[in-house]
Amino acid sequence: MAVYTIAFFAHAIEVAFSVRNNAENDQTKFDFSRTERSGRIGSAMMTLAFILLFAGVIFRGLSAHRVPWGNMYEFSITGALAFSGAYLFALKKYKLRWLGLPVSIAVLLTLGTAVTLLYRPSAPLVPALKSTWLAIHVSAAIVSGGVFLLANAVAATYLILDRIEEKGPRPAWALRLPSLEVLDQLSYRLVAFVFPLWTFAVIAGAIWAESAWGRYWGWDPKETWAFITWVAYAAYLHARVTIGWRGRRAAWLCLFAGSTFLFNYVYVNIWGTGRHTYSGL
Amino acid sequence: MSITPELGAVGFLRWIWRQLTSMRIALILLLLLGVAAIPGSIFPQRSQNPMKVQEFFTNNPQLARWLDRVKIFDVYSSPWFSAIYLLLFISLVGCVLPRTLEHLKAIGAKPPLTPKFLDRMEFHNDLDQNPSSLDVAEKWLKKNHFRVRREANSISAEKGYLRETGNLLFHLSLLLILVAVGVGSLYGSKGEAILNVGERFINTPTSYDNITFGKFQREGSLIPFSLNITNFVATYDPATNAPTDYKLTVQSANPIGSKPITRIIKVNSPLTFASTKIYLQANGYSPVVTVRHKSGKVVFSGPVVFLPQDGNLTSVGAIKVPDMKPQIGFVATFLPTADRSAARGAFSSYPEVLDPRLLLSVWAGNLGLDSGVPQSVYRINTSKMTRIGLKALALNQSYDFGEGSITFDGWKSWVNLQIVDDPGKMYALAGGLLAVLGLLISLFTRQRRIWVKISDRVEVAGLAKNGVPGLKEEVEALVKVLKG
């Protein structure tokens, strides 16, 4: 079953590669009318890859007889799934295809790292993880993470375009990208949409910690950084809604908040100490 | 010219208050709180891992002393961290309470008057004159649950008051969480006890290995229950040696002496007595040994708690026998499933007891128990002792070390129970859930106003308070109705 799963991932990656190639075609040839088709193929491939990855995650769960969120390999593949899912969702709603290239690269890097460095054969859960809260807490955290990172990608695009526009008119390849205001609004909307979910993820974690560790909050490194991420996004929302920050400053704050999330995931899982480290990654 | 000192002081206080409750300062405090939390995740914390802090002191004594002065090892109870969050919460109160009062007043109130120049608003529409427009508009707005204020020749309508309700609910819930944390730490208690299978625990302060009480919690307020540790089973995955399940069976009686009930404690399902919960935190092995004096008299007998060192439960400990002359101490390692390799020597290859060994080094001399310095029960200070023997014992084997003999009789499992009383946590939970509810309401409610005004023409316009889309469609729908 595990081999089957790996095969699935190999496939998913292969497909994702073709997405990247297609997307690149889009950008090297500036005549968009001619590359419209390859862009569409890219989106279709992205959807197909999403379905395959979804199946892969499901099979991983089946092969381990549990929810597939027990170690960092599994978090990474599910995170990549959530990230591309968030992209596909927003793609339909906000005409986001211009983001296909960075999204597919990010997903590829994540999956690549997961398969090569983080892979562990599927194994049963340690007793501390045996709880219904695993499914609730981790899925909420992963979905929030996927959307936060998408908001980050949008904010980064904003900053890059902002810099370019400062120097003069947009070059040909950037013409297809949306206006700065649209980017600004989009990253805010993504954050505002998912902030309650993140709050819920933290609270679900606290409820679980109460039943597993005897306290609902203990400033464990993972908890601390989840708190920092929460505070950073809360500051972002206040800055926007109440003080009226827009544009560059808001984008930087958004990037900062998103990077605290990434830092939490990478640093605390790999080099950190504390109670959130399980089964050696 | 000069202001009297009192006025100056009052003015100053007022200025401070205005600053503190301003959004800018709140934002700075919020970010500051995030930044201030960082050192606690980098440096070891006394509240979590006092051993690591000790280690840090041994490795960098100079640096550690300096860091300790600024409470780097107690970040979350340090004055500077507390100062930030208290200021933040004062700022929150100063901001949220007036707004709550205002909002309560607004609940029954009518929407504000129609502004003079509607063409400055969003989605402004000019329609042909029609005297019945106001009636049609009022009907439509009321049908769509707008709050309507009808004047002689204008309508002002508003919808989405819940947004502010949600917003205030969210912030008030945060206050509730803070209060809950305070209640928990002032009126709670938290302790740990290590117990061998077969032992009995009575919930009094002396039964604990360590216990801390909140400032206002009295020692006599512990719930009078007792636990008999009847059985403990750990199961492991044979492929990875990782634990798959821990199951502790106890006989609990509450109050002590009442009819005991059999209860199961697992890692994610603690045993509950009112606001007190009993958690299974750790487990290990206690080898059972009998030590005899060379005369044949038994000088020590029973299980000794050893500390696990790795995933296969290689455990180390100390057996101290002060009732012999000279005093005898055994520095020992317990291997649940013994194995050997050239590189590692003797080690444990599986966490369950399949082929146990007890590795002993025997020391004779002065254990130093009377020196008054507290000693670890897991270690022996061998500075005033000499080693008189080395031996690996299999089950039921004995070793004669001249002064006497030691027999490896068997083993028992021990469990570390954490017993926590936190009367505040239900409030914290309520606060957390209300906070999410408030957030959802405030972030997904659209607050907007629509105006209709009749002069020589009919004007329609709107205003979306937080820029959420949808108002345009609404105004268009109204305009369509007005056009008939």
State which residue of chain B sits closest to A195, comparing Cα positions: B439
Name B229's bridge partners.
Answer: B250
d(CA B36, nearest CA chain A) in Å? 9
* Dihedral of alpha carbons A232, A236, A242, A243, sign: positive
For residue A29, the model assigns a pLDDT of 44
- Touching check for B30 and chain A: CB below 8 Å? yes
Q: What stretches of chain A adopt beta strand conformation (E)?
A: none
> Of B56, B34, B33, whose CA–CA distance to B43 is shortest?
B56
> Of B180, B190, B188, whose CA–CA distance to B429 is shortest?
B180
- Touching check for B465 and chain A: CB below 8 Å? no
- Range with the poorest average pLDDT among A272-276, B144-148, B312-316, B395-399: A272-276
| Cα gap A186→A153, rounded to integer Å | 11
Q: Which residue has the tokens 């056009």?
A: B483
Per-residue pLDDT at B76 exceeds 80? yes
Whether the bond between A221 and the residue before it is cis, its omega within 30 degrees of 0, is no
Taking only the tens place, the pLDDT of each residue in B379-401 is 888 888 999 999 999 999 999 99
Tokens of B184: 């928990």
With beta carbons less than 8 A apart as the criterion, state whether A148 and A196 touch: no
Which range has the top average pLDDT, A115-124, A215-224, B246-255?
B246-255
Note whether B30 contacts A234, CB cutoff 8 Å.
yes
A-chain residues near B45 (CB < 8 A): 219
Q: Which residue has the tokens 């020992």?
A: B332
- Range with the poorest average pLDDT among A64-68, B136-140, B238-242: A64-68
What is the percent of chain B where pLDDT is above 70?
98
> Is the pLDDT higher at B241 or at B374?
B241
Size of the A and B interface in Cβ pairs below 8 Å: 124
B-chain residues near A260 (CB < 8 A): 34
> Of B305, B52, B292, B115, whose CA–CA distance to B196 is shortest?
B305
Torsion of CA A174, A175, A180, A183, to 10 degrees: -70
B-chain residues near A192 (CB < 8 A): 443
d(CA B195, nearest CA chain A) in Å? 18
Note whether A242 contacts B23, CB cutoff 8 Å.
yes
* Dihedral of alpha carbons B465, B467, B473, B475, sign: positive
Note whether A212 contacts B268, CB cutoff 8 Å.
yes
Determine the Cα angle at B285 with ends A213 and A219, to 5°.
20
SS (H, E, C) B258-280: CCCEEEEEECCECEEECCEEEEE
Q: Give the pairing type, strands B345-348 and B398-400.
A: unpaired
> Of B210, B303, B196, whose CA–CA distance to B250 is shortest?
B196
| Cα gap B442→B436, rounded to integer Å | 10
For residue B467, the model assigns a pLDDT of 61
Sheet holding B315-321, edge to edge: B307-308, B315-321, B327-335, B357-365, B385-394
For residue A265, the model assigns a pLDDT of 83
B71 backbone φψ class: left, alpha, beta (φ>0; ψ -120 to 50): left
Taking only the tens place, the pLDDT of each residue in A146-199 is 899 889 989 998 998 888 888 877 776 677 778 888 888 889 989 998 999 999
Facing residue for B436 by CB, picked from A199, A217, A227: A199
Which residue type does B40 have?
Answer: G
A-chain residues near B246 (CB < 8 A): 127
Facing residue for A243 by CB, picked from B23, B418, B443: B23
Q: In the 8-state DSSP scheme, what is residue B355?
A: B
Question: What number is the ipTM of this complex?
Answer: 0.81
Tokens of B147: 């709050």
Domain boundaries, chain B: 9-104, 110-160+446-483, 287-411
- Touching check for A199 and chain B: CB below 8 Å? yes
Please enumerate in sequence order all residues whose Cβ is within 8 A of that of B126, keeping only pairs 6 or more positions apart, or say none. B457, B458, B459
Domain boundaries, chain A: 1-20+29-124, 129-281
Q: How confident is the model at residue B285 (pLDDT cuts 50, 70, 90)?
A: very high
Which CATH superfamily does the domain covering B110-160+446-483 fall into? Kinase associated domain 1, KA1 (3.30.310.80)
> Of A191, A243, A149, whose CA–CA distance to B28 is shortest?
A243
Please enumerate in sequence order all residues whose Cβ is within 8 A of that of B444, keeping only pairs 6 or more positions apart, or say none. none
For residue A19, the model assigns a pLDDT of 53
B-chain residues near A215 (CB < 8 A): 190, 420, 422
d(CA A77, nearest CA chain B) in Å? 22
Note whether B268 contacts A130, CB cutoff 8 Å.
yes
| Cα gap B410→B417, rounded to integer Å | 23
> Of B420, B90, B321, whose CA–CA distance to A213 is shortest?
B420
| Cα gap B208→A110, rounded to integer Å | 47
Taking only the tens place, the pLDDT of each residue in B20-48 is 778 888 889 999 999 999 998 888 888 87
* Dihedral of alpha carbons A117, A121, A124, A126, sign: negative
With beta carbons less than 8 A apart as the criterion, state whether B169 and B430 touch: no
First to last CA, chain A: 21
